[in-house]
Amino acid sequence: MKRKTLIIGGTKGIGKAILENLKSHECHVISRSYSARQNHYALDVLQDELPEIEGLNNIVYCPGSITLKPFHRLTVEDFISDYRVNVLGAVRVLQFYFKELKKNKGSVVLFGTVASQQGMSFHASIAAAKGGLESLARSLAAEWAPNIRVNVVNPSLTDTPLAEALLSTDQKRENAAQRHPLKKIGSPEDIAEAAIFCLENQWVTGQTIGVDGGMSTVRV
């Protein structure tokens, strides 16, 4: 029988690449925008009623944000909004599906950011939220072992709708690529491969895996 995986945000960017590369799973998808795809639920994961999915094994939570501002211009609302979509949305989903995941020996993949591992200017709000998400993941990996594995993939700048404004000209793309030791920005598939590894490998939990062109660890 196919394993059942719920991808929150499987219609764009990294989530879409995961969906396209997870053919061996029965995938269910949530996003706010409508899709005619089978097993797609159009809803806002932060507030709408979530669908019951019997036999669910895995959850991939993709909603996130990139809020880049100097610290003195960040408002309390910016911090709350980043925390809400990156952390509380995941909390809401994981609390709702916990019993099903436990019953079915599940796996959870969340997305952090390279900016919580390495200090980066203008990232204070998003780094604080994603750092919280990483700590949440490690806590749950401990609390839910051995039944549910929980891991985080930390991308650097990746070519998705979320990063559109940062990659809107050839010059911006080239500059972004050159900032990375591997001299390229990420593709959704680069990140999806790591997420699928975390879903499939049965002996990995509580890990944060950087898929970031060397940004978090390498100086050339």
Binding site for ligand NAP (CB under 6 A): 8-9, 11-15, 30-33, 44-46, 62-64, 111, 113, 155, 157-158, 160-163
Choose between 100 and 190: whose C-beta lies nearer to ligand NAP: 190
Choose between 62 and 141: whose C-beta lies nearer to ligand NAP: 62
- Provide the sign of the torsion angle of the four alpha carbons 195, 11, 24, 148, taken in this order: positive
Residue 83 CA from chain centroid, whole number: 14
Choose between 117 and 205: whose C-beta lies nearer to ligand NAP: 117
Residues 137, 87 contacting (CB under 8 angstroms)? no
Choose between 48 and 147: whose C-beta lies nearer to ligand NAP: 48
To the nearest whole angstrom, how small is the minimum distance from the Cβ of residue 68 to ligand NAP? 11
To the nearest whole angstrom, how small is the minimum distance from the Cβ of residue 3 to ligand NAP? 21
To the nearest whole angstrom, how small is the minimum distance from the Cβ of residue 6 to ligand NAP? 11
To the nearest whole angstrom, how small is the minimum distance from the Cβ of residue 16 to ligand NAP? 7
